[in-house]
């Protein structure tokens, strides 16, 4: 699938990083997260674009992670919860929450000094992350995100932001395409 024009422009503006450029050059991490409900030939999936904002205001592209939403399963009568974010039935909201979980996990393993700015194009994710919403209809995945947010608050500065879907934001369009 073709990249959105704004994503293509943003990727063209990415400069090659050298290890000596990185130390102390970044102001914050910026993550963009999205999920897809799948379709007739595709399973629900998620993606996270990871950037670092430089002190001069520019962004450096670190990379993209993503995958299909993992399904929980029962083997010989025993429930297997090995897959973090795994669900019995996956759909778009679950894919969005899964992206937020993996994005937050990425931040938790990164440099704890740098704040993380998390961008999601669904208010549900932002609301759950900020403890403004909770829904039992999504099962344990919303509780998993909320618990990870509470853990992250102990050592990280995390800010959640809503970005309007399909509005031309380069990095939101990027994760929309990948998911």
Q: What is the 3-state secondary structure (H, E, C) of the chain?
A: CCCCHHHHHHHHCCCCCCHHHHCCCEEEEEEEEEEECCECCECCEEEEEEEEEECCCCEEEEEEEEEECCECEEECCEEECCCCCCECCCCHHHHHHHHHHHHHHHHHHCCCCCCEEEEECCHHHHHHHCCCCCCHHHCHHHHHHHHHHHHHHCCCCEEEEECCCCCCCHHHHHHHHHC
Q: Which residue has the higher pLDDT, 87 or 111?
A: 111
pLDDT in tens, 7-35: 878 777 766 555 555 556 889 999 999 99
Q: Which of 29-43, 64-78, 157-171 has the highest mean pLDDT?
A: 157-171
Q: What is this structure's pTM?
A: 0.82
């Amino acid at each position: 699938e073709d990249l959105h024009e704004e994503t293509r422009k943003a990727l063209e503006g990415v400069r090659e990083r050298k290890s000596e450029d990185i130390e102390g050059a970044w102001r914050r991490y910026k993550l963009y997260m999205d999920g897809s409900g799948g379709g007739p030939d595709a399973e629900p999936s998620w993606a996270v674009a990871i950037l670092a904002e430089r002190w001069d205001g520019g962004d450096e592209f670190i990379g993209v992670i993503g995958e299909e939403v993992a399904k929980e399963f029962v083997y010989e009568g025993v429930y297997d919860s090995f897959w973090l974010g795994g669900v019995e039935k996956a759909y778009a909201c679950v894919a969005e929450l899964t992206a937020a979980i993996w994005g937050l996990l990425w931040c938790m393993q990164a440099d704890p000094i740098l704040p993380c700015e998390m961008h999601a194009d669904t208010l549900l994710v932002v609301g759950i992350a900020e403890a403004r919403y909770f829904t039992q209809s999504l099962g344990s995945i919303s509780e998993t995100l909320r618990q990870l947010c509470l853990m992250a608050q102990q050592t990280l500065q995390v800010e959640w932001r809503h970005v309007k879907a399909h509005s031309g934001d380069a990095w939101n369009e990027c994760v929309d395409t990948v998911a």
